C-alpha cells in the first residue's frame, strides 16, 4: 500500500509517518520510506542517528525524466535502474526500512522559484518504487503546494494529520478537497496532539460536518518531545507510550484495507475502517 502523510507545518505528520513505518517494519513488513519534505526529518523519527542522517545522499530531481507515451501523453521515468537507485541513494534505517530522501533545496537557491522538479520526482518515485516494499510511506511537504501539483496522485491512502484547533482543521479540509479531486482512493484524517475529550469531539464534529472520516486519534504525549530531545525514535524511547500505542492502533485500521475481501468495493472498505 502506498501511504502519504500530509498536513500543515507542525501538525505532526512526520511523527505519524515515522512511527507508522516502524510499526509496520517491526511487524515483519518490508517498508520503503520516502522523505519528500524540503526540510527532511523523517530519518530521525525512524531512529537514524543524526550523524548518519547528515550523511544521507539526497536524490536529485533530475533522476526522474518525462517521457512521451502513445496518445500524446507523458509519464515520469527513472533515469537509473531500480537496483542502482537503491544502492546509490537508499539508507537502511532501523527495522530494515529503506529510506530515500529528496526535495532538500541546494544551497544558495533561496528565492529561486518553485520546486516543481522535486514535486514531479517525488510523484515519479512513488509510482516507480512500489515493488520495493509492502508499504511505501511518503512524508509529504507541509502545506498544499504538492497537492496542487499532483504529487500525491499515485498514493492509495492519504493520512491528513490535523490538530484540534480551527486553523488546522480548516487546512485539513482544504487538503481533503484537493486530495479528493486528485482521485486518491482513500483519504482519512488523523487527529493529533489531542489533550482531552473536548479536543477529540471538536475534531470529530468538524470532520463529520464535512464528510471527512477520522481513522485515528493520537493523544498529546510529552514522551514524543523527550524522544526528540534525546535524538531517539519515539518507538524506541517510549514503545508503550500513549502516542505510539495510538499509532499502532492506526496501523491496524490501515491493515483492514489490505485484509478486505477480493472484489470489495470502495464503499465496503470505507465502511469497514471509518
Residue 191's CB: how many other CB atoms inside 10 A? 27
Give CA angle at 265 (252, 183), nearest 5°: 85
Radius of gyration of the chain (CA): 18
The model carries a pTM of 0.84
Domain ranges of the chain: 2-273
Give CA angle at 32 (266, 17), nearest 5°: 70
CATH of 2-273 among 3.40.605.10, 3.30.1540.20, 3.10.20.30, 3.40.50.300: 3.40.50.300
Residue of higher predicted confidence among 263 and 61: 61
Residue 218 to residues 40, 53, 197, 202, 237: CA-CA distances in angstroms? 22, 26, 12, 14, 17
Q: What is the pLDDT of residues 84-109, one digit of tens each?
A: 888 888 899 999 999 998 755 544 44
Check: CB of residue 77 under 8 Å from CB of residue 67: yes
Beta bridge partners, 194, equal 219
Q: Which of 210, 206, 208 is nearest to 180 (CA)?
A: 210
What percentage of the chain's residues is helix, strand, coil (to nearest 5)? 45, 20, 35
Q: What is the pLDDT of residues 232-244, one digit of tens each?
A: 999 999 999 999 9
Amino acid at each position: 500500500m502506498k501511504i502519504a502523510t500530509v498536513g500543515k507545518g507542525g501538525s505532526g505528520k512526520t511523527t505519524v509517518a515515522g512511527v507508522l513505518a516502524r510499526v509496520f517494519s517491526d511487524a515483519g513488513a518490508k517498508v520503503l520510506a520516502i522523505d519528500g519534505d524540503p526540510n527532511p526529518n523523517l530519518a530521525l523519527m525512524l531512529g537514524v542517528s543524526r550523524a548518519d542522517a547528515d550523511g544521507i545522499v539526497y536524490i536529485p530531481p533530475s533522476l526522474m525524466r518525462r517521457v512521451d507515451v502513445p496518445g500524446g501523453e507523458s509519464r515520469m521515468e527513472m533515469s537509473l535502474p531500480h537496483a542502482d537507485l537503491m544502492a546509490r541513494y537508499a539508507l537502511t534505517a532501523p527495522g530494515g526500512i529503506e529510506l530515500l530522501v529528496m526535495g532538500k533545496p541546494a544551497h544558495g537557491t533561496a528565492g529561486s522559484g518553485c520546486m516543481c522538479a522535486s514535486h514531479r520526482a517525488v510523484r515519479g518515485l512513488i509510482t516507480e518504487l512500489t515493488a520495493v516494499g509492502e508499504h511505501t510511506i511518503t512524508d509529504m511537504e507541509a502545506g498544499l503546494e504538492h497537492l496542487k501539483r499532483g504529487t500525491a496522485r499515485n498514493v492509495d491512502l492519504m493520512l491528513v494529520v490535523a490538530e484540534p484547533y480551527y486553523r488546522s482543521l480548516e487546512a485539513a479540509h482544504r487538503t481533503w478537497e484537493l486530495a479528493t479531486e486528485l482521485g486518491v482512493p482513500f483519504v482519512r484524517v488523523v487527529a493529533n496532539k489531542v489533550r482531552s475529550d473536548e479536543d477529540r469531539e471538536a475534531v470529530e464534529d468538524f470532520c463529520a460536518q464535512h464528510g471527512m472520516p477520522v481513522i485515528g486519534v493520537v493523544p498529546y504525549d510529552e514522551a514524543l518531545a523527550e524522544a526528540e530531545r534525546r535524538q531517539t525514535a519515539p518507538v524506541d524511547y517510549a514503545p508503550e507510550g500513549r502516542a505510539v500505542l495510538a499509532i499502532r492502533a492506526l496501523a491496524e485500521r490501515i491493515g483492514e484495507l489490505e485484509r478486505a475481501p477480493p472484489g470489495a468495493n470502495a464503499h465496503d472498505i470505507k465502511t469497514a475502517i471509518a
